[in-house]
Structure 1
Amino acid sequence: MSDSMWQGSGVDLDAYLTRVGYEGDVAADLSTLRGLHSAHVDAIAFDNLDALLGRTVVPLDLDSVQEKIVRQGRGGWCLEQVVLMAAVLDRIGFTFTAFAGRTRIRSGSKLGPALHVALLVELDGEQWLHDVSFGAYGLHEPIRFAENERLDGDWSFDLVREPTGENVLRFLGPDGPVELYGFTTDVRYPSDFELLNHFCLTHPRSPFNHRMVLQRTQPKVRHLLAGTVLAEIRPGEPATFRELDEAEALSAPGEIFGITLEPGDIQTLRKTLAGP
């Protein structure tokens, strides 16, 4: 197998499939693309904990990402998960490119930095938006990349094209559409990921380096923990919010988000929650 910039030849595909609980056939087709997407978001949480554990580097090389997410049972933030997912798709034989989106749901702005990265997969003359790492409001399966495309079900989404040419992915909740992020299809490469990774880890305006942000997308319930506030989202219902006490917040990574932490990491998080 010839190597590519997505490092498919270096991924331990069997270990990954076991980690996400995927037991179906694997081929470069739409059924596999959907199945892997759903299995990944069900099993692997968005996890920014390294930024709170005093880690000065969040490595994006495939070996480090596999060690953390696949072997140690951790989650990862967007860039780590995209590195892993891209290697898996490359290994299977999919053709795709990466793009960067400007998150709107938390900032309310259309002009923030393009920090979120996802993939556009080409299949049979069509493109599919494949995004496993946006978190609690994100896609549970790929959506066809086409103007005014809609994905219906327990969780519904659509894509709209703005006059500027920017595409916007929206979550269609009970209170109306929620804009998740806007993007163009300008191609991004792994070298671009390193710059975004550095911003997320070190910049004072990064949303990910000063409080715990954990997110998980499961078939019937989605969870988002921001600091000590836990949001629970169910199909067709407004989100509910609850303030966690310290014990609940420290147990949440394992009990709610399926993240395996070492005892020392939990002690470090306790100090972070306590504040200066």
Structure 2
Amino acid sequence: MSGSMWRGSDVDLDAYLTRVGYEGDVAPDLSTLRRLHIAHVDAIPFDNLDALIGRTEVPLDLDHLQDKIVRGGRGGWCLEQVVLMAAVLDRIGFTFTAFAGRTRIRTGSKFGPALHVALLVDVDGEKWLHDVSFGAHGLHEPLRFAENSLLEDDFSFDLVREETGEHVLRFIRPEEPAELYGFTTDVRYPSDFELLNHFCLTHPRSPFNHRMILQRTQPKVRHLLVGTALTEIRPGEPATVRELDEAEALAASEEIFGITLKPDDVQALRKTLAGP
């Protein structure tokens, strides 16, 4: 992809690398791709808070995303994070395409809207699934894009292909594999992201505009907060769910997810947590 599309030349690369705690040189190679992925998901949470605190838009322009995520210490939902990551990879010199997937783990359906976005990155003649924004159940490092590809670690994943031709990313857990999302490799562009972003922010059936969703992927633990229900996932163990009160849920945004909220934003979130 060219810099004119993803604006890689406009990225403050040093600031981004500091934000995610990446140390050392960068190059368009597999080592850099893997280390960037790990650093990003460890440092930057999934957060949908702008959709809940009176924002009339969630801009996807790179300048805004750098102010919010890189310099402001916030997270973002998948569209925001992938636009930022695409610009970073473009700046470093990687070749990649974007795609959209249909989330399955939270919906139980294979036929929902294709709202999740991620990247396929070319390195030395192979493609790698590079997805930094799926959240608590997502990849912590790139997965080779090939049928029956397997990533074995404390948290393991595989990639299977269905008879329909869709690829399915699965999270391997003790009870059974969880299908995260299905996708094809049809290329998506920044203009497609704008349409998906509008749906996520405004549509009455959007999963992201009526309750707080925070997610973080760290080396030995993953956390997911939906409303006031906090899920914790550790290697080789069934997930545990704990119901928080309002104060605990608001405190978790900083204590667990690393997000510092402004006083006005806290007030707006209290109304969201209280419900209609």
TM-score (norm 1): 0.98
Q: Which moved more, 1:3-12 or 1:193-202?
A: 3-12
Q: Secondary structure of the equivalent of 1:188?
A: coil
Conserved in 1, the CA contact under 8 Å of 2:216 and 2:257? Answer: yes
What does residue 195 of structure 1 align with?
Answer: 195
Shift of 1:273: 1.4
Tell me the CA shift for residue 268 of structure 1.
Answer: 1.4
Q: Deviations over 1:73-101 (max 9, x none)?
A: 00000000000000000000000000000
Q: How does 1:13-162 map to 2 (within 5 A)?
A: 13-162=13-162
Alignment-derived partner of residue 174 in structure 2:
174
CA deviations on 1:94-146 (whole Å, 9 max, x unpaired) are: 00000000000000100000000000000111000000000000000000000
**TM-score, normalization: structure 2?**
0.98
Tell me by how many angstroms 1:18 deviates: 0.4
Deviations 1:145-183 (A, max 9, x none): 000100001010000000000000000001111000000
Correspondence 1:272 to 2:272:
yes
Counterpart-to-counterpart distance in 1, 2:250 and 2:149: 40
* Structure 1 range deviating more: 19-28 or 161-170: 19-28
Q: Secondary structure at the match of 2:119?
A: strand
Q: Distance in 2 between matches of 1:21 and 1:263?
A: 27
Residues 15-48 of structure 1: per-residue CA shift (max 9 Å, x gap):
0000000012211100000000000000000000
Q: Which moved more, 1:55-64 or 1:262-271?
A: 262-271
Write the deviation string for residues 206-265 of structure 1: whole angstroms up to 9, x where unpaired.
Answer: 100000000000000000000100000000100000000111011111111011221211
- Quick one: which amino acid aligns to residue 149 of structure 1? S
3-state DSSP of counterpart to 1:176 = coil
Residue of structure 2 equivalent to 1:240: 240
Matched letter for residue 91 of structure 2: R
Unaligned residue ranges in structure 1 (runs of 5+): none
Structure 2 CA distance for aligned equivalents of residues 231 and 65 of structure 1: 27
Asked if the contact 2:147–2:159 (Cα under 8 Å) also holds between the matched residues in 1, the reply is yes
Give the counterpart letter for 1:11 in structure 2. Answer: V
Are the counterparts in 1 of residues 155 and 235 from structure 2 also a CA contact under 8 Å? Answer: yes
- The answer to whether residue 9 in structure 2 is matched with residue 9 in structure 1 is yes
Once the two structures are aligned, what percentage of the paired residues are identical? 84
2:118, 2:92 → 1: CA distance? 18
Structure 1 runs of 4+ off > 3 angstroms? none
Partner letter of residue 245 of structure 1?
A: D
Gaps spanning 5+ residues in structure 2: where? none
What is the deviation of 1:3?
3.5
- Secondary structure of the structure 2 residue equivalent to 1:214: strand
SS at match of 1:5: helix
- Counterpart CA distance in 1 for 2:217 and 2:173 is 15
- Equivalent-residue separation in structure 2 for 1:239 and 1:231 (angstroms): 7
- Alpha-carbon RMSD across the aligned residues, in angstroms, is 0.8
CA contact (8 A) 1:115 1:196 kept: yes
One-letter code of the match for 2:66? Q
Whether the 8 Å contact between 2:3 and 2:90 is mirrored in structure 1 is no
Amino acid in structure 2 at the alignment position of 1:194? E
